[in-house]
Structure 1
Amino acid sequence: MTLLQVSEVSKKYKTKVALSAFSLEAKRGECIVLCGGNGAGKSTLLHILAGVSAPTSGTVMLNGISLQKNRKAYVSQIGYMPDEFYAQQMMTVQEFLSFYAALRKTGKSKVEEILKRIGLAEKKQELVKNLSKGMRQRLLFGQALLGEPALLLLDEPTNGLDPFWVNMFVQLLKERKERGAIIIFSTHMMDVAAEIGDHIVFMKDGSVVKHIRNTGNKEEMTLQLLQLHRQI
């Protein structure tokens, strides 16, 4: 059964088309990776799916719930990691996660678990403003994982991560896939796309230009995606 249905979704700003008639379907445990250059429409799509920006046209349904008709119920099922960090700078790491945990009715034990998984347990009393770029990325990723979301949306989540944490990110996503989450994220790292993505969607100027199903051979897929990424 298809759990996520995106039908002919578009976004226009006056005369500029940021996203043109985008459609996709995804089932439990599937991962879709969005690739393409700056301005391709990846962030616009993620903003719409996260309920941050309303589409100009089209529909989005998750587990039978319409984003347009019941936004509150829809967004309660998602975890979203934006591409920019807008958190209160004077919060501690623990306060930041606890705030989102409360919104998602998640207990203190889950906050502690997430802190360990993202490697920030020893930094939990550190102010957000003092974190490095990589630590902030991990913190944003951690808040998106709270509440076991049915749909996980991540905008350039690997930016600022060193190789160790890129690998940990992939492992955490694999765990979420096994537990049935639908994952959609954007990246410029083709090896990550090849390893975790079931479907890789290349976008340009707000439109889909190539949709590839993963063959399961990581090395071959990485080379193929690298070639496409350079061409598009």
Structure 2
Amino acid sequence: MEVKEKESKLDGNLVLEAVSKQYKKNQALHPFSMRMRAGECVVLCGGNGAGKSTILNILAGISKPTAGKVILNGIEMEKDKMAYVADIGYMPDEFLAQGEMSVWEFLRFYASLRMVSEDKIDQIIMQIGLVEKMQEQVKALSKGMRQRLLLAQAILADPELLIMDEPTNGLDPFWINEFIELIQILKKKGMMIVFSTHMMDVAAEVGDRILFIHEGKLAESLVNDGKDIPGFTRRLLELYRSN
């Protein structure tokens, strides 16, 4: 996959400082801290309901933390949310678009919000392999195609921080490999990437740090040096099954 170089400098930093989330009596996320550098990929792993989506929703500015600070490139979300979210790309775990929109219309809508050119839309459509589907209605797409379309809108504007909730759900083996290749390219450009997954092989391939979340708490943090991917995958599987 070819991704054009972004002209602006990607030297930002992401900081979560003692971030927590409580819904009435339910503590969805206990105080959680994390720092990221440009070009780093952090993968969140854990069972359903562990708190991964809570972290991602807070990062994306969708959910307000009960306590703690979230800072991107020196901009604190609580103090200037519009500036904070301006350089974020977000891929949700559910497809909420109007089904009657075509693939082209869907991406044109998001491109207009981000002031992205139609040439970039064409490039992205080719990149995600939906050229033959560009005039097809979104509701007619398969699960895997919808996932690729969601990923396309998330990277349309070359965000400095890319956040994805279960991005590989519904992808076939070919597109999982394409996803891995794309993430590696985006990391080399300096993009910060955070996503959740149940696929430990994908986490081992692209994650610089793997964080296991359990009952709203950080249970384990592993650094991936990339030297033994098969061995690291086995280690992640062991931890995944124990959490």
TM-score, with structure 1 as normaliser: 0.99
Contact 2:44 2:196 in 1 (8 A): yes
Partner of 1:114: 124
Report the alpha carbon displacement of residue 215 of structure 1 after superposing the two structures with TM: 2.6
Cα contact 1:4–1:62 (8 A) shared by 2 = yes
Aligned position for 1:128: 138
Aligned to 2:230: 219
Alpha-carbon deviation of 1:161?
Answer: 0.4
Q: Retained in 1: the 8 A contact 2:103–2:138?
A: yes
Match of 2:80 in 1: 70
In the TM superposition, 1:1-232 aligns within 5 A as 3-216=13-226, 217-232=228-243
- What is the rounded CA distance, in whole Å, between the counterparts of 2:29 and 2:12 in structure 1? 23
CA-CA distance at 1:186 after TM superposition = 0.2
Q: What SS does the aligned partner of 1:225 have?
A: helix
Task: Give aligned pairs, total.
Answer: 232
Indicate the SS of the match to 1:188: coil
- d(CA) in 1 for partners of 2:88, 2:131: 24
Q: Could you tell me how far apart the structure 2 residues matched to 1:119 and 1:206 are?
A: 37
Q: Tell me the CA shift for residue 121 of structure 1.
A: 1.1
Cα gap change, 1:124 to 1:2, in 2 (>3 Å): closer
CA distance in 2, matches of 1:137, 1:14: 33
The 2-side partners of 1:189 and 1:3 are apart by 27
Preserved contact between residue 2 and residue 25 of structure 1 (Cα < 8 Å): no
Amino acid at match of 2:103: V
TM-fit CA distance, 1:122:
1.1
Aligned counterparts of 1:146 and 1:7: Cα–Cα separation in 2: 29
CA-CA distance at 1:2 after TM superposition: 6.5
CA RMSD of aligned residues (A): 0.8
Answer whether contact 1:215 1:221 (CA < 8 A) is retained. no
In structure 1, the residue matched to 2:4 is none
What is the CA–CA distance in structure 2 between the aligned matches of 1:117 and 1:84, rounded to whole Å? 21
Runs of 4+ deviating beyond 6 Å: none
One-letter amino acid of the structure 2 residue matched with residue 229 of structure 1:
Y
Task: Output one character per residue of 1:87-117: Cα deviation in whole Å (capped at 9) or x when no partner.
Answer: 0111000000011111111100110111011
Q: Matched residues in 2 for 1:41 and 1:6: separation?
A: 15
Q: Distance in 2 between matches of 1:140 and 1:3?
A: 25
Identity percentage of aligned residues: 56
AA of the residue aligned to 1:134: G
For each residue in 1:126-178, what CA deviation from the matched residue of structure 2 results, as whole angstroms up to 9, or x when unmatched? 00010000000000000000111000000000000000000001111111101
Contact in 1 for aligned 2:44/2:211 (Cα 8 Å): yes
Q: Distance in 2 between matches of 1:14 and 1:122?
A: 48
Query: What are the ranges of 5 or more consecutive residues in structure 1 without an aligned counterpart?
Result: none
Structure 2 Cα separation of the partners of residues 219 and 177 of structure 1: 21
Alignment CA distance shift 1:2-1:112 (3 Å): closer
Q: What SS does the corresponding residue of 2:47 show, helix, strand or coil?
A: coil
